[in-house]
Structure 1
Amino acid sequence: MTISTCSIALQRFLFTPPPQSLSQGRREELRAPMEVRCKAGAVPLMKQSHKFLSSLSSPALAGDPSATNRHIKKFVAASPKSVSLNVLSHLLSPHTSLPHLSFFALSLYSEITDASWFDWNPKLIADLVALLNKQERFHESETLLSTAVTNLKSNERDFALFLCNLAESNSKQGSAQGFKEACLRLREVLQTSSSVYVKTQAYKSMVSGLCNMDQPNDAETVIEEMRLEKLKPGVFEYKSVLYGYGRLGLFDDMNRIVHRMETEGHRVDTVCSNMVLSSYGAHDALPQMGSWLQRLKDFNVPLSLRTYNTVLNSCPTVTSMLKDLNSCPLSVSEVLTFLNEDEVVLVRALTQSSVLHEAMEWSSLEGKLDLHGMHLSSAYLIMMQWMDEIKVRFSGEKCVVPAEIVVVSGSGKHSSVRGESPVKALVKKMMVRTGSPMRIDRKNVGCFIAKGKTVKEWFCQ
């Protein structure tokens, strides 16, 4: 079967309403107008993509396959490649904020295959097959899968990498059947291939997939199998397993894997550390988070912005404070007085790191603080640290006073509701409450700006 004939074969499945097996609540979701939110972890939506998905969920299209067909067809015909693929990628994401609209991902894909710019992408096919498996649309998924197998079977490496993508995509979607079948195919590749690269990638995907499916113990078994095959497990495999145990709250096993990594010469880096911290935080193990941060300090492992996000999102007092921006404390010292003992340890460990300075730039032209990538709690702490820092700088006799002071908050393009940035709202409230001279930049609504001399005078008054 060729790619073009695959497209024809899929036509009989396209633009049909959701199956009757859907619950009444799910059918109501498809009929009701909605507000598109970008869920954490999902592919961020472009402005045009956001508009299309909002229209796709309008009551005018609900229950009308022909109208939906025309609407999707018109959208793809009128949209550039980047926008069409952005929508499809968002719907295929396991973290999509629009699971009820993901039913139309296959229809959208079919229209995209007819576009002049379309290039067949096996990774995209793997993601789509996994989504269809999750939706229990096995006939459609098998049609796509058989085409991919036909096209890639002659190239061992490409075929193996496709199966790796297929296994991981199914595991991320939580499709046990799809993951099992992908692993069976990978097992066949392992038995016939003489390529160390192909075998290593196959094992890595099985380990990662098993951990995604909450089976880290089985993943450890696969790692031992790698050793028997004279293949050395790498940091990726160990990180997958330790995080798999950590997510399940099996901290003894998690730490056992960390120790094994170290004994085999793998350094515990910032990424690995953040996985451990995330695991502790997910289970409210704040004392263990504090102990781990102290260990990182002792071994000079740098913290990152992700560390800030992970740790502060686990501090209930901090997140509670931010529910009322009119009354939350405006200095680090004041915040500490509200925290419990475990939270104080965590916040102090963060403020002693270099993360603030990595987010800052300081020169005669501009003093800038960039809050991109920060969750609300991280932006809150960093803003208070920043105000303390520049006050100290301005009080120095030989201080370089930048021509402009800029705080980049972002305008909300990647927020849960596009155009409504919680970080921007926080910064604005903090500026107003402290009487800061900084205002939203007319040329860039995602920035707060003021003359450096003006800010210095305000801080030193």
Structure 2
Amino acid sequence: MISNSNISLRRFLFNPPQRLSQSISDWGEGLSNVSWTYRTSMEVRCKAGTVPLMKQGHRFLSSLSSPALAGDPSATNRHIKKFVAASPKSVSLNVLSHLLSAQTSHPHLSFFALSLYSEITEASWFDWNPKLIAELVALLNKQERSHESETLLSNAVSRLKSNERDIALFYCNLVESNSKQGSIQGFNEACVRLREITRRSTSVYVKTQAYKSMVSGLCNMDQPHDAESVIEEMRIAKIKPGLFEYKSVLYGYGRLGLFEDMNRVVHRMETEGHKIDTVCSNMVLSSYGAHNALPQMGSWLQKLKDSNVPLSERTYNSVLNSCPTILSLLKDLDSCPVSLSELLTFLNKDEEVLVRGLTQSSVLDEAIEWSSLEGKLDLHGMHLSSSYLIMMQWMDEMRIRFSEGKCVVPAEIVLVSGSGKHSNVRGESPVKALVKKIMVRTGSPMRIDRKNIGSFIAKGKTVKEWLCQ
């Protein structure tokens, strides 16, 4: 438990001063204006990068938005207390992590993260976690709740200050969490403290982790030039920068569209002996795509091919999400092309280069599982545009395998689309809808598996007859 500091914090939480009570009331009034459709639906809308909510967590957050709790801090706190008491550890922490995320799909409820955390500290299963504290402090900084933030921060420091490594890692987490939340003051103050630790410390490990966090944080704060300066500080301190630091700066420049700087960093990495791997390549492609630089994206794909750098599912996602024609075609599943050859006729020159570059990679081969019992393609991890292209490649590949007769015909063919657990709307998978539509339009014998609604299944011989007819 969190001793006297926690007691004072709980008093502050559950007996807030007038200004804070009013702010909670204001939040309640705002919540009461949330549409009835949102409050009563079982939707779980999750932005990319946020923590997906469990069903129980969604029900709880939906109930926090109810008119019955609006403007009533006491009722809200009782509701939170009841939820934690009745929920297992995984559910309570899932909700808290979701609210602490900078990309939370419930920003209007993130105000209650501190109250939820305070109740969690009273649970029998609670273990004090400095990383969680850092995330909570950063959120409070973003909300300009300095009093609560300072209380949590001072408590954490007092617990950790006897161990240099632990206190350094805490400030590393604090730097990164503040940068993700976009809290300038919190970020700057955490960096100052972290620099003080690095100046005093003789530990290479402590210094390395501190520099890593500052580089990453500065890039998150759109300050890649300052992050490069930190890399130079590392050299002066006789600490060799690693791939992580270079990738952070590379992507920091790329995200801002500063491609000359991005490529300069890439060149420096190569000259210093760092291999340009798939992860680094995807960062470059994502940066080009975010700024509609399709010709540069095509050139980069060619460079990867010449250098034998493997592509991945994320490469497909980054590239295809940047192809406006494909995204436009997928808005109408009743008329979009249902074969690769037909799709290519719709694309402009730049997009065609990109699609051909992807289809010449080994991504599809690596995604297919093939045996006498089962031929399987799993679309998990692929965005809608990637699933679309991979699926058409897959049909062509199976047609070739079946027609040449050089491989065994599996007893079953399975295509895994997912059931929508991690979709923007829980239970409504865009990928599943796409697969179903294309199966119907092409006359495929594959149907939704009764045992697994996230899969399509058919006998191997039946699929062979369909594709080779």
TM-score by length of 1: 0.97
Q: Secondary structure at the match of 2:377?
A: strand
Change beyond 3 A, Cα 1:58–1:25: closer
Following TM superposition, by how much is the alpha carbon of 1:59 offset from its aligned partner in structure 2, in angstroms?
2.3
Query: In the alignment, residue 4 of structure 1 is paired with which amino acid?
Result: S
What does residue 339 of structure 1 align with? Answer: 347
Q: Does 1:7 align with 2:9?
A: no
User: For structure 1, which runs of at least 5 residues remain unmatched after alignment?
Assistant: none
Counterparts of residues 311-350 of structure 1 (less than 5 Å) = 311-350=319-358
Q: In structure 1, what is the Cα distance between the partners aligned to 2:365 and 2:21?
A: 54
Matched, 1:287 2:295: yes
Deviation, structure 1 residue 352: 0.7
Cα separation, 1, equivalents of 2:25 and 2:414: 50
Does the C-alpha gap of structure 1 residues 22 and 300 become closer, same or farther in structure 2, counting only changes over 3 Å? farther
Task: State how far apart, in whole Å, the 2-side matches of 1:18 and 1:344 are.
Answer: 57
- Structural mapping, 1:28-43, within 5 Å: 28-29=30-31, 31-32=33-34, 33=36, 34=38, 35-43=43-51
User: 1:30, 1:101 within 8 Å by CA — same for their partners in 2?
Assistant: no
1:388-403 matches, cutoff 5 A: 388-403=396-411
The CA deviation at 1:23 is 12
Could you tell me how far 1:74 is from its partner in structure 2? Answer: 1.4
Q: Deviations over 1:74-104 (max 9, x none)?
A: 1111111111111111111111111111111
Deviations 1:141-174 (A, max 9, x none): 1111001000000011011001000000000100
Query: Does the 8 Å contact 2:28/2:69 carry over to 1?
Result: no
State, as a whole percentage, how many aligned pairs show the same letter. 82
Letter in 1 for 2:405: E
* More displaced 10-residue stretch of structure 1: 33-42 or 417-426: 33-42
Residue 214 of structure 2 aligns with an amino acid whose one-letter code is M
Name the structure 2 match of 1:372.
380
- Give 2:235's aligned residue: 227
Moved more, 30-39 or 338-347: 30-39
Q: Report the CA distance between 1:261 and its aligned residue.
A: 0.5
2:59 is matched with 51
Q: Take 1:428 and 1:339, find their aligned partners in 2: how far apart are those partners?
A: 24
Residue 397 of structure 1 and its aligned partner are, at CA, apart by 2.3
Pick from 125, 129, 132: which aligns with 1:117?
125
Alignment match of 1:172 (pick from 170, 173, 180): 180
CA distance in 2, matches of 1:46, 1:402: 36
Is residue 310 of structure 1 aligned with residue 310 of structure 2? no
1:231, distance to aligned residue in structure 2 (A): 0.9
**Aligned mates of 2:25, 2:181 — CA distance in 1:** 20
Tell me how far 1:70 sits from its aligned partner.
1.8
Go from structure 1 to structure 2 and tell me whether the alpha carbon gap of 1:358 and 1:29 turns closer, same or farther (over 3 Å shift).
farther
Return the match for 2:249 from 225, 241, 244.
Answer: 241
The SS at the match of 1:436 is coil
Distance 1:29 1:312 in 2: 38
Q: Per-residue CA shift, 1:262-303, capped at 9, x if unaligned?
A: 111100100000111111111110000000000000000000
Contact 2:311 2:361 in 1 (8 A): yes
Query: Matches of residues 69-108 of structure 1 in structure 2 within 5 Å?
Result: 69-108=77-116
Tell me which amino acid in the other structure corresponds to 2:94: N
Shift, 1:399, TM fit:
2.6
Asked whether the equivalents of residues 247 and 282 of structure 1 are also in contact (C-alpha less than 8 Å), the reply is: yes
Corresponding letter in the other structure for 2:144? E
Work out whether residues 419 and 428 of structure 2, in 8 Å CA contact, stay in contact via their aligned partners in 1.
yes
User: In structure 2, what is the Cα distance between the partners aligned to 1:393 and 1:320?
Assistant: 32
In structure 2, C-alpha distance between the alignment counterparts of 1:280 and 1:18, rounded to whole Å: 45
1:36–1:53 Cα contact (<8 Å) kept:
no
| Equivalent pairs, count | 460
2:226 counterpart of 1:218: yes
How far is 1:26 from its partner? 9.2
What are the ranges of 5 or more consecutive residues in structure 2 without an aligned counterpart?
A: none
Distance 2:442 2:31 in 1: 43
Partner of 1:265: 273
Q: Which amino acid aligns with 1:379?
A: S
Q: d(CA) in 1 for partners of 2:323 and 2:24?
A: 38
Q: CA deviation at 1:214?
A: 0.5
Does residue 441 of structure 2 align to residue 433 of structure 1?
Answer: yes
